[in-house]
Amino acid sequence: MADRRGTLENLGKLIQENGIHMTEWTKEMWQEFCTFYKGKKVLVTGHTGFKGSWLVRMLEEAGAAVTGYSLEPPTDPSLFYVAGLHNTMDSVIGDIRDLPHLMEVFERTQPELVFHLAAQPIVRDSYKDPVYTYETNVMGTVHVLECIRKNSCVKSFLNVTTDKVYENREWEYGYRECDPLDGFDPYSNSKSCSELVTHSYAKSFFSDGYTAVSTSRAGNVIGGGDFANDRIIPDCIRAATAGREIVVRNPYSTRPYQLVLEPLAIYMAIAMKQYEDLNFQGYYNVGPDDRDCVTTGNLVDIFCRAWGNGMTWADRYDGGPHEANFLKLDCSKIKHVFGWRPRYGVEEAVAKTVEWSKAYLDGQEMLQVMDRQIMEFFE
């Protein structure tokens, strides 16, 4: 297995030195996914959410037998039901805080790989209900890890957290995996706690080398099918659909934005590689290149150009609760270990989001649109 890791690191060096386009990585990785995941039993928590729905479809396309455990979708409409994913997989509706129910699902399905995405993901909602946020994001992680501890079928576990886990000092350079974890608001802090819980379980219960454990800290993702409140691109789409001016509450905050398929591809790679070789387990930042860390105002400008129809926006700062003004990640580690580079820049990511949204408004078959965008990403 060490040779396989060496191959990945050599690919990373070739990309750095020779400027190989990322289609080389995505093409090769998709071939590996289809070989590795075919017939594998995979459990995804949070499968009814935006990221979870896209991940489920990517795993299905790669041949995996997918079970999901999640609450009903948090929005109506939702990508999960719009695309008909409830008809393509083993979908279990349940609360991550319900340990006995979750344990029953593990015992019934005997998953080999687990992706933990279930969370209360909205910063502003965490101020409204911090208890629920901590129960879901911290104890939910404990429950998943406890199920893994008591079911020896699991060989690979990935906890998906966020770039907001770091103690954010608003400085101009990216946070590295070794920087302190201490999110400010209840959402960010609860995800910091989720990381620490994962670290403790890895050291306390999974040090025998059988189950590989990793966490992945991704930046802001955008893409088709995100209908959430208090997220800038869904807000833009709602305004464009209604023919209204876009209201932007904090146009000067800087965030790393990437298409949702970017981190999901590397999640699948981490889970696969650590299944085969424990040396790949660890803690990884996943984010766009520096050029795609843009202000909210710049992002909305990109959206207006992509949507057309004379879309405009207005600065309407609302004095809401504290949110980070400047945040980006240093992704050197994952680039070195996996040879990974972002496939799309922020303008392409917005264009893909607009493409999906207009197809939805036109009444197209959205599962086919998802499949097409997945295949285009890996071409």
Angle in degrees, CA 126, 174, 287, rounded to 5: 70
The answer to the question of residue 296 being in a domain is no
Percent of the chain with pLDDT over 90: 82
The answer to the question of residue 370 being in a domain is no
Domain tally for the chain?
1
Residue 124: domain span: 2-219+259-287+324-344
Q: What is the reported pLDDT for 22?
A: 53
Task: Read off the pLDDT of residues 243-296 as tens digits, 9 standing for 90 and up.
Answer: 999 999 889 888 889 999 999 999 999 999 999 999 999 999 999 988 888 999
The answer to the question of residue 84 being in a domain is yes
- In terms of C-beta density within 10 A (0-12 exposed, 13-18 middle, 19 or more buried), how is residue 65 classed? middle
The model's confidence at residue 349, banded by pLDDT at 50, 70 and 90, is: very high
The answer to the question of residue 358 being in a domain is no
Q: Is the pTM of this model over 0.85?
A: yes
Mean pLDDT score across all residues of the chain: 92
For residues 212-239, average pLDDT: 95
The answer to the question of residue 272 being in a domain is yes
Q: What is the reported pLDDT for 326?
A: 73
The answer to the question of residue 292 being in a domain is no
Task: Read off the pLDDT of residues 98-152 as tens digits, 9 standing for 90 and up.
Answer: 999 999 999 999 999 999 999 999 999 999 999 999 999 999 999 999 999 999 9
- Residue bearing tokens 């270990």: 337
- Count of residues for the chain? 379
Task: Read off the pLDDT of residues 313-330 as tens digits, 9 standing for 90 and up.
Answer: 999 876 666 666 678 899
Task: Read off the pLDDT of residues 366-377 as tens digits, 9 standing for 90 and up.
Answer: 999 999 999 999
The answer to the question of residue 190 being in a domain is yes
Residue 6 token pair: 């060496």
The model's confidence at residue 171, banded by pLDDT at 50, 70 and 90, is: confident
Would you say residue 222 has pLDDT above 70?
yes
Q: What is the reported pLDDT for 24?
A: 78
Would you say residue 210 has pLDDT above 60?
yes
The model's confidence at residue 19, banded by pLDDT at 50, 70 and 90, is: very low
Please give the Cα distance from 357 to 150 (Å, whole number): 42
The answer to the question of residue 157 being in a domain is yes
- In terms of C-beta density within 10 A (0-12 exposed, 13-18 middle, 19 or more buried), how is residue 151 classed? middle
Please give the Cα distance from 274 to 304 (Å, whole number): 41
Task: Read off the pLDDT of residues 53-97 as tens digits, 9 standing for 90 and up.
Answer: 999 999 999 999 999 999 999 999 999 999 999 999 999 999 999
**DSSP line for 251-263:** TT-EEEEEETHHH
Q: What is the reported pLDDT for 253?
A: 86
In 3D space, the residue among 226, 269, 255 whose CA is nearest the CA of residue 31 turns out to be: 269
List the CATH number of the domain containing 14: 3.40.50.720
Percent of the chain with pLDDT over 70: 92
